[in-house]
Amino acid sequence: MLEISGLTTRYGGIVAVDDISLSMAEGQAVAIIGANGAGKTSLLRTISGLLRPASGQINFAGTGLTGRPAYGVARQGILMVPEGRQIFGALTVEENLRLGQRAAVARSTAPNAEMNKVFALFPILAERRSQYAGQLSGGQQQMLAIGRALMGRPRLLLLDEPSLGLGPSVVAQVFAALKALHQEGLSMILVEQNARLALEATEFAYVMERGRIVHQGPSVAMRSDPLVIDHYLGQAAGG
């Protein structure tokens, strides 16, 4: 479904994404783990068309996406839930969700059906639909950011650190929703510094260091891989 080969992205002299190749099948959930600064966000932003690669190819469902602008990538069905949520605090929950519809413009749209799905997934958003998004808790804002992307009917959802800054119980809620979406067949790429969570929610994982993929394999195998445990899962790995 997604095929990336030799992708390199720079900020001036800084190489943020360094010759990355990866592929994933439709319906898969793939994790990208790695320390702060490894290039995870830059990779997602390159796939999304927000950054233009210096070299390499991105193909999605038989279509070349390399160098397309972000709106063109979104119209192909690749939608991102950005790091830090980036919801509009001065708009209501419902207004934020309606903004997410735009990506689906070129495909079949049934906006109210989509909104009802989002509300079924995150009932708290239905309760707060008329409140300003800026008044939501961090966890609710993350739910809203995911909901906004779902409004665009993604074929591939890119999630950048959805657990960042959230407490354990709300993280569990958010990940339960992601697992449910995945079970319904949604393809996703999950970027996380929380490697344990990411490996539990996905089938395949890539480890990034300094812009490169240094390790890859089935998520379940990664969870018992000494190299991954040492570097990314810490002491609690055994328990």
Ligand X SMILES: Nc1ncnc2c1ncn2[C@@H]1O[C@H](COP(=O)(O)OP(=O)(O)O)[C@@H](O)[C@H]1O
Per CB under 6 A, the list member of 40, 75, 148, 153 interacting with ligand X is: 40
Beta carbon of residue 32, minimum distance to ligand X (angstroms, whole number)? 8
Which residue number places its CB atom closest to Mg ion?
41
Please report whether residue 16 would count as binding ligand X according to CB under 6 A: yes
Q: Could you tell me which of 192, 209, 226, 193 has the C-alpha nearest to residue 29?
A: 192
Span interacting with ligand X, options 38-46, 73-81, 140-148, 220-228, rule CB under 6 A: 38-46
Measuring CA to CA, how many Å separate 77 from each of 63, 83, 102, 106, 151?
A: 11, 19, 11, 10, 11
Backbone angles phi, psi at 135, to 5 degrees: -90, -5
Name residues contacting Mg ion, limited to 24-43 (CB under 5 A): 40-41
Residue 48 binds: one of Mg ion, ligand X, none (C-beta under 5 to 8 A by kind)? none
Backbone angles phi, psi at 201, to 5 degrees: -100, 0
135-174 footprint of ligand X as x/- string (CB under 6 A): ----------------------------------------
Ramachandran assignment for 180, one of left (phi > 0), alpha (psi -120 to 50 degrees), beta (any other) = alpha
Yes or no: say if 121 and 149 are a contact pair by the CB < 8 Å rule.
no
Rounded-to-integer distance, Cα 66 and Cα 216, Å: 24
Residues 6+ apart with CB under 8 A from 4: 20, 21, 22, 23, 47, 56, 57, 58, 59
Pick 50 or 126: Cβ nearer ligand X: 50
Per CB under 6 A, the list member of 21, 26, 37, 176 interacting with ligand X is: 37
Per CB under 6 A, the list member of 34, 77, 139, 154 interacting with ligand X is: 34
Residue 176 binds: one of ligand X, Mg ion, none (C-beta under 5 to 8 A by kind)? none
Please report whether residue 163 would count as binding Mg ion according to CB under 5 A: no
Beta carbon of residue 205, minimum distance to ligand X (angstroms, whole number)? 14
Beta carbon of residue 49, minimum distance to ligand X (angstroms, whole number)? 15
Please report whether residue 14 would count as binding ligand X according to CB under 6 A: yes
Per CB under 6 A, the list member of 28, 42, 142, 194 interacting with ligand X is: 42
The size of the interface with Mg ion (CB under 5 A), counted in residues, is 2
Binding site for ligand X (CB under 6 A): 11, 14, 16, 34, 36-42
Binding site for Mg ion (CB under 5 A): 40-41
